[in-house]
Amino acid sequence: MAVYCLYRLYCIGLLLSLLLATACTKDPSIEPEPDLPTRTILYYLGADNSLYTESKDKIEALRLGFPGGKDHLVIYKDSRNESPELLEVYAAENGENQIRVIKTYPEQNSATGETFQRVLADVKTSFRADSYGMILFSHASGWLPKGTLTRPESAILQMGTTPIRTYTVAMDGSDELDLVEFAAAIPDHFFDFIAFEACFMAGIEVLYELKDKTDYVISSAAEIVSPGFLPIYPEALPMLYQSQPDLAGFAKAYFDFWNAQTGDYRSATITVTRTAGLSMLANWVKLNTGNQVSEKDLFDIQHFDRYRNHRLFFDFADYHGRKTDDVGRNQLASLLNTLVVYKAATPSFIPGQLGFQINYHSGITTYIPQERFPSLNER
């Protein structure tokens, strides 16, 4: 009996030892979740239009500016007579930044919400990160309906021509990506920032549409003079990869470059806007509509477009400040100080080509309803 009991205890002890060893052994099939890169930036290059000649230079400037490390720089390129591609800028073993093709798409219209959404999904899947930013380069027309800038008969008169090239949400051939489609394709609270290397994107209409999509917007009240952000990418792009992206520093680098130019090329407006708080600004507007501004006085309000006989992009604070009293104007100034992180404007904008003086720049523009544009008033 004693031998049997000892044998039984031995078996139980052996079994417990095996169970303990098994419990303490790490399952080799379960790998720890790797630390994600801090940030992935998508550069959406919509140049299947008159901007196609700038594609290569843009990509080269981005290659030079990418700081490397674990972060990602992904370029969606759709240029004239070429298949759309998803490119990655990466640091090779020799330390030099290189470019590789991640995906080649069949011919597609890059100025649709469906295509933009598809590209975003590919980026999210292949380039996971703790945070995301985006730079969009293309023609743009702010909040205006499709074709408004390019078709004078659609209630808009032709803007003055100029030898200085400017960029006018994205365009593919003659197709334009509608602002509502663009915003709908972005998951809520997905981007830390969106930077528009495109014209007229500092409108309150644009900002409000994107308020639930991104924390910050970098944009211009007026046009973007070519070559846009290109001269600053080699030095300033790393600012966007800091743990807290230095958006104001990036915007200042852009402004400083153009403010140092001469003649008509000394033309720039730039704003960094925080989207949190836009609902409070909208409420202020609803409560401060007492004084009306007559259409004959519209030409006295600061504008940021170069049309011959009309205005579409007005300074937000200049306009709404005229519709309220001193108390309301102080409230407006306080709200804008919270929303506008950085703003800058040159003294004038392409003055030699139907340009204008910039006497007032709150950093945000607005459309003012006008009898001659009933289709725009409805929006």
Q: 3-class secondary structure for 279-346? A: HHHHHHHHHCCCCCCCHHHHHHCCECCCECCCCCCEEHHHHHHCCCCHHHHHHHHHHHHHHEEEEEEC
* 351 is a domain residue: no
* 317 is a domain residue: no
* 126 is a domain residue: yes
pLDDT tens, residue order, the chain (379 aa): 444 454 454 444 544 454 444 444 445 555 555 677 899 999 999 755 556 678 899 999 999 999 999 999 999 998 777 889 999 999 998 889 999 999 999 887 777 888 999 999 999 999 999 999 999 997 566 666 655 543 423 444 444 445 555 443 544 444 567 888 899 999 999 999 999 999 999 999 999 999 999 999 999 999 999 999 999 999 999 999 999 999 999 999 999 999 999 999 999 999 999 999 999 999 999 998 777 888 888 989 999 999 888 889 999 999 999 999 999 999 999 999 999 999 999 999 999 999 999 999 999 999 999 888 888 887 6
DSSP, res 262? -
CATH number at residue 79: 3.40.50.11970
* 120 is a domain residue: yes
Burial label, 378 (beta-carbon count in 10 A; 0-12, 13-18, 19+): exposed
Please state, as a whole number, how many other Cβ atoms lie within 10 Å of the Cβ of residue 360: 16
User: Which residues neighbour 228 within 8 Å (Cβ) at sequence distance 6 or greater?
Assistant: 137, 167, 197
* 357 is a domain residue: no
Question: What phi and psi, each to the nearest 5 degrees, are found at residue 212?
Answer: -100, 5
DSSP 3-state assignment of 236? helix
Report how far apart the first and last C-alpha atoms of the chain are (Å, whole number).
Answer: 95
Give the amino acid at 225: V
Domain count, the chain: 1
Q: Would the pTM count as exceeding 0.75?
A: yes
* 110 is a domain residue: yes
* 319 is a domain residue: no
* 372 is a domain residue: no
Give the HSE-up count for residue 156: Cα atoms under 13 Å, Cβ half-sphere.
22
* Length reported for the chain: 379
The residue segments making up the domain with residue 222 are 39-276+340-345
| CA separation for the pair 136, 46 (Å, rounded) | 8
Please state, as a whole number, how many other Cβ atoms lie within 10 Å of the Cβ of residue 235: 13
Residue 62: the pLDDT is 98
The reply to whether omega before 227 is within 30° of 0 (cis) is yes
| CA separation for the pair 181, 6 (Å, rounded) | 78
